[in-house]
Amino acid sequence: MKKLLIAITISTLFGGVTAQEAADKKVQAGLVLGAGLNFTEPETNLISKSGAGSDLLVGMSVDWHFLDNIALSTGLEFEFDRFRHSFNDSVYMEYFDREVLTKSSEQTPDGVMLLDERRYRSIYAVLPVMIKFQTNYLGYLRYFGKFGMRNSFLLQSRGDNYGSNFDPSTFTITAGEELLDMRIPGDMSFYKGSIGLSGGAEWNFSGGTCLVGELGYYYGFTNLHNGDALTGDEDKNKSLYELTGAGREYVVPNARQGQLLVRVSLLF
């Protein structure tokens, strides 16, 4: 019994020393991995949602502890984002090789598609800016909550397009067309902003090294898709159009994206 008490006392003291080493650090930095679900909410009758999308992220996380129980949590992440839209109206697009053509393109198209569905695959560089509120260490663990923004900047966007061939000279439609892994310039907005909350725990398992797990939800407040051009012809960057009595009317989907993300960080 005496030996057991001594062992417990030594373990407790060692744990306190180890946790204190991590608690005394003003800056912690390391790697982050994450995954989650995308919930796209259309804000126009042009499109409808088609289930949840997926999200993967990898990058670097940095925590600056400017007060004992408050920190600035930021970093740089690369986010691999997937979602899809179903088109409710008769929406057309022109294409050449593996690129969707915008209105301003001078390239002669290979064909025209009547679009039924598009599956998006985008890559973003993400700068999270979160305020982190945390407890003191309770043994090897401390708990936290975060509030702030995720600022995402588009690096690349491609899409798989499903629909029918359309012949504009005869207005005939032949079904069963797939245009996969196409570049879709001008479709996605350069900036995607979201605001949200997350919570989790930090485990100090060795010296000043910590394993951090968190779960968060982020509400998107910007349109995922690009709108009017800032200069010149406001439709020049658009690629989707409807046919009316007056000719082509270019359209843009309008949707916001919520994200449920699980992140795991290794901080030093």
In 17-110 the beta strands, taken as DSSP E runs, fall at 27-42, 47-49, 53-67, 70-96, 99-100
The parts of the chain modelled with pLDDT lower than 70 are: 1-19
Q: What is the pLDDT of residue 16?
A: 43
Q: Are strands 191-206 and 141-167 parallel, antiparallel or unpaired?
A: antiparallel
Provide the CA 151 distance to its chain's centre, in angstroms: 9
Give the per-residue pLDDT at 19. 62
Distances from the Cα of 78 to the Cα of 56, 61, 81, 138, 190, angstroms: 8, 11, 10, 33, 14
Q: Which tens digits make up the pLDDT trace of 158-189?
A: 999 999 999 888 888 887 889 999 999 989 99
Alpha-carbon Rg for the chain in angstroms: 25
**pLDDT score at 6:** 40
Task: Tell me the domain boundaries of the chain.
Answer: 2-267
Measured CA to CA in angstroms, residue 247 lies from 116, 166, 191, 208, 264 at distances of 20, 16, 31, 66, 52
How much is the pLDDT for 207? 87
Distances (CA, A) of 39 to 10, 45, 76, 223: 49, 17, 23, 13
What is the three-state SS of 17-33? HHHHHHHCCCEEEEEEE
Q: Give pLDDT, residue 23.
A: 74
Six token digits for residue 68: 């004992």
pLDDT at position 143? 98
9 by DSSP, 3-state: which? Answer: helix
pLDDT tens-digit series, residues 119-144: 999 999 999 999 999 999 999 999 99
> For residue 83, what pLDDT is reported?
96
User: Global pTM?
Assistant: 0.88
